[in-house]
Structure formats: structure tokens, C-alpha cells
A and B are shown apart, each in its own frame.
Chain A
């Protein structure tokens, strides 16, 4: 999915403007960004700086007002809603701050959800779910409901759900924001392992410098613009 330069993600001249009545709120300004394939990137910045907006543009959950967003060789800013949904199902894994597991489904069923969108047999789905839960160390908790799991375990299930389709890109929005330091470290270890051992490209939004330090590269977003890169 990478281009000739080895970049997986390329954003050029991206602007994002929200309208609130007659008021225009410029969240992102002329933003350029390249993310290499297999890179673990942290995005930091204060609240309202546009981190989550940037992540949503990368996930195809939102479109830029201007500029282009290319992932692999596909211009996702030009895709229809239907095309974007299909693209997300195949190429993107999302990890949320508050896990966003469906409370009525077991851990395994939650992990299986993205696989319902791809043509696989039940047996194949079960195998992939088992593998994903094994990677995050929760094979033994497969039948448990989210309410029976700790916060850290729920986030691991969320990560298993994000990687079960073997996506190219994993986007994590404050994945440790709701966890204590020790549990958060476990989640960061897991994300780092996914990048290191499975070659995943990971973009993580965080407030926490400690979490950002685990990434290979950290970018700061301030007033809608990326600040110079800082060494990891």
C-alpha cells in the first residue's frame, strides 16, 4: 500500500473548517503530513488543537474542507461515504479512549464485528478472532462480557477488534486516557509490539508525554498547525 517513497499516509494542504451558525472555526490550517509505513507516530497537543479532527480525516470519518488525504495510493478525500465505509472496514483499525465495546456482546463477538463486513466463513472468523485475542493476551476472556472485564482488558479487546482484519493502519485516540499508568503502560507495550512485530503503522493521539515517548516520532499540533518534529 505504500508509495515509491515508502510513505503510507500523505496529507497535503489540508484545511478543516467547521461552521457554527455564521461563525467559521478553522481547526486545521494548510497542514502537510507524511507517515511512513510501519511507523509509530504520536500526535500531541492541547484540547481543541485539532488532534482528533486530524485522526478522523485519516480514518475517513470526516473530509477535509480543502487539501488531499492519501492513504496508500488511494485519495480517500474523494471517496463516497459508501466507499469510505468499505475502505475503513478493510484498511483501518480504530482504538477509542473509552473502548466503545458493545455491552451486550462477549469479547469475542465484539472482536468479530469488523469481520462481519468481509466475506469470511464462520470458521475463518472464529480463527481470526482467536488469533487477535491471543495477540492481546485475552484468549482466556473470550466469552466474557465487557462489564466483566477491567478497563485495561476492555482496551485490549478494543485493540484486538482494531487488528482483527489485519489493517494497514491503526488509529488510536487517547488509548490510555482512561487507564491508570501501569495498565496504560501495558497497552502502550502492546501497541509498540504491534508496530515492531507485526509491522503495523500506528497513529496515536495523546495528551500524555509519557505515552508519546513510546512512539518513534511525535508531532505537536497547536492552533491547527503541526509544529516541527521532535525526536522520539
Chain B
């Protein structure tokens, strides 16, 4: 601590340069936090996917429907405990920017398939008793200020109702919570029977099936058995684990993880050069002063420590501000307005960020610090 005054005084020497360097580090760590949250949002579905759940979709593409009749056949296959289905509704609530997933499902089967979606018993009963009933995740309900009892109009973009017009109306009978932080609470789920009876076309088809298997260790065999059962039919299937399914879905936008790593690598290399250059300049300009310190009795180790501490202080101030600002920006919400159902700053990335701050400080200061230790005081004192 007794050297802190000396360290802080050095920052006052070139205030603009120090400020610009700190700002560039701030920007880098804001970007780090933001991209970490985006990356996490894309991989989250993969992480929380049930190990014992498989997804059956059309072999050609997920947008191709599968016959509703497959459910009974799937349930006959050895190793399958239960099966249910869901479909993509793709409606609009008030504004096209209000994006969230809406799915017609069989309430009882779906809730059994997803026990991590916690719905109070009374609301569950209400959903089973209300044909137009729908349940929403806590996040989406809070985002739009919905309460149980509200009537939610959704405009169809694909599935127009039989009676004309394009608006479906649902009665919100429940709001579910997630058993874990990572559980998706941005879904809007309504009854398949209501959807099936009222859609203008496509009757008898569903989007995809979820399967619960008895033994996750035999998922591959069960998946092969399902696909074999529908081979050479008009709607052949592709069955995979829920994790692989979610990953494939996320990768439609590209390999987000690889993109994030590439961007952050470029950013950190640039920041390392910026901070390293600042420290190299600082040492070069202070050759004589470092010579004075050595002449007064500062050892090589102490000079090394001083330069490294200065570099680390620069990184800690910039990195700390950047991580904090990134945290606040991520906490302010998903920048896409709902396309990323789970958007939060992962704690492990925050810790990784702290580690990067320290590494940046050490890496940026190491070469200039070693250069400073090599200075011979007699020669350094001769420099102008």
C-alpha cells in the first residue's frame, strides 16, 4: 500500500493517455460481458436439455409437419416411456418486435414431460378445464404485465383461425416459474385441442415430438428405432437428443460460440497491444526516473513489481469498470427484445473476466517491467 501514492501519481503524468487506455479496456470488457451473455443464451437450451428427452422432427426440415398419428406409434417403441408433441405457432402480440415462443401443446403430457416448469396446482387444473386457456412463463408475463385472468390476443402469421380474421384469443389461466435459473420462462403455451379445432388448415399435423426414454444410456438405440419405424413413409423422421436438437436450432444462426471466441480474441489481442504500448511508453519516458529509484536503493524486484503493479492497476480500473458496465447492460435486458429467452451475465464468465483482467495487467506490463529491471542506474541517470 505504501507504493500506491507513487503508482497513482504516475497516472497523473499523462492523464489523457491513461484515460484513453482505460476507456479502451472498458470497451473490451463491456463487449466481453455482452458477448458472453449472448453466447450463453444460445447454448443455454443445450445445457438445460433433459438427458432423458429426445426430439423427433421431420427428416427434411423442422418446418415440415409430422402426422399426429405418430404419437401412438412412438409410444409403442421399446424404451419409450412417454411422448407428446408441440408445434410452432409464430404469432404476434401487439407488435412484431414482441418476439416470444408460442406453442400449442397437450397440457397434461407437456407438463409431465417438463417437470422443471412449475405451475401451481390450481392453475394447472384451470388450464385443463379451460379450452381457450394458456399459460405463460414468469419472464414473459412480467415483460408484458400479464396477470392470470387476462385475455391475450395473438395475431396469426401462419395459422389463421377458421372463423375469419387472424386473431386468436387466449385466457391466461396460469403463470409458470422455472425450477432452475436456466429454465426457459419466456414461453406461451396453449391447448392443442383448441388449436386443432380452430385452425383453418393443417389439421392432423404437429410440429415435432418429445420423447422421454427409460434409459438415457440407450437414447441412440431408441432414436434409431423411431427413425426406422417411419422409414420409407411420406414423413420420415430424424430423432436426436434434445440437446442436439436445441444446438442444431441455435446453429441456424451460425456457430455463435466460435464467432464470439473469434471476436473476443481479436478484441483482447488489440487491447493487449494498446495497454502494452502504453506501459512500454511509460517505461521509456521514465528511464531516468527508474534509474533514480534504483540509485536510491530500489531493487530489480521492486522496480519489476512497481511497473507490473502500474500495469495491473490500469487493467483493474478499466477491466473492473468494463465488467460492471457490462453487467448493468446485460441486466437491462435482452437487446433483441425477446429473441434470446435467457439473457443474463453468467457468473463463470464474470470470474473468467476477472482472470482476464489480471492476465491483461501482467501480460501488458511484463516486457516493459523486464526492460526496467535491466536498466543499469549509471546509464539510466545519463539519459535525458
- Tell me if B181 counts as interface (CB < 8 A to partner A): no
Tell me if B381 and A96 are in contact (CB < 8 A). yes
Is A220 interfacial (CB 8 A cutoff)? no
Measured in the bound complex, the distance between the Cα atoms of B203 and A64 in whole Å is: 100
Q: Report the number of A-B residue pairs with Cβ-Cβ less than 8 Å.
A: 65
Please determine whether A104 and B299 come into contact, CB atoms closer than 8 angstroms: no
* Known contacts A82-B299, A88-B296: A102-B378 contact under CB 8 Å: no
B295 touches A61 (CB 8 A): yes
The answer, yes or no, to whether A1 is at the interface (CB within 8 Å) is no
Q: Given contacts A61-B295, A62-B378, A85-B297, is CB(A100)–CB(B3) below 8 Å?
A: no
How does the 8 Å CB contact mask read for B295-310 relative to A, with 1 for contact and 0 for none? 1111111100000000
Q: Is the CB of A100 within 8 A of B294?
A: no
Q: Which of A61, A102, A105, A125 contacts B377 (CB 8 A)?
A: A61
Within residues 71 to 123 of chain A, which ones have a CB less than 8 A from any CB in chain B?
A: 81-82, 85-90, 92, 94, 96, 100, 102-105, 109, 113-114, 116-117, 122
Q: Out of B2, B13, B292, B298, name the residue touching A104 (CB < 8 Å).
A: B13
Chain B residue, CB-CB nearest to A82 = B299
Q: Which of B4-12, B80-88, B259-267 has 4 or more CB atoms under 8 Å from chain A?
A: B4-12
B293 to chain A, nearest CB (A): 7
- Assess whether A89 is in contact with B12, with CB atoms less than 8 Å apart: no
Question: What's the Cα separation between A54 and B37 when bound, in Å?
Answer: 64
Cα-based distance from A88 to B299 in the complex (angstroms): 10
**Contacts A109-B5, A113-B293, A116-B2; A104 near B10 (Cβ below 8 A):** yes
Interface status of A226 (Cβ within 8 A of chain B): no
For B382, give the chain A residue with the smallest CB separation. A52
Residues of chain B within 8 A (CB-CB) of A122 are: 2
Q: Across the interface, do B6 and A105 meet the contact criterion of CB distance under 8 Å?
A: yes
Chain A residues with CB under 8 A of B13? 103-104
Chain B residues 336 to 384 lying within 8 A of chain A, measured CB to CB, are: 377-378, 381
Residues of A within 8 A of B378 (CB): 56, 61-62
Interfacial chain A residues near B296, Cβ < 8 Å = 88-89, 94, 113-114, 117, 161
Instruction: Enumerate chain A residues within 8 angstroms of B2, measured Cβ to Cβ.
Output: 116, 122, 125
Any A CB within 8 A of the CB of B288: yes
Report the minimum CB–CB distance from A149 to chain B (whole Å): 16
Cβ of B289 within 8 Å of any chain A Cβ, yes or no, is yes
Contact between chains at A104 and B295 (CB < 8 Å): no
Name B residues whose Cβ lies closer than 8 Å to a Cβ of A: 2-3, 5-6, 9-10, 12-13, 288-289, 292-302, 377-378, 381
Q: A61-B378, A100-B292 are in contact. List 4 more A-B contacts (CB 8 A).
A: A61-B377, A85-B300, A102-B9, A117-B297
- When A and B form their complex, which 6 residue pairs have the shortest distance between CB atoms, in order from nearest? A89-B297, A104-B9, A88-B297, A85-B299, A100-B292, A114-B296
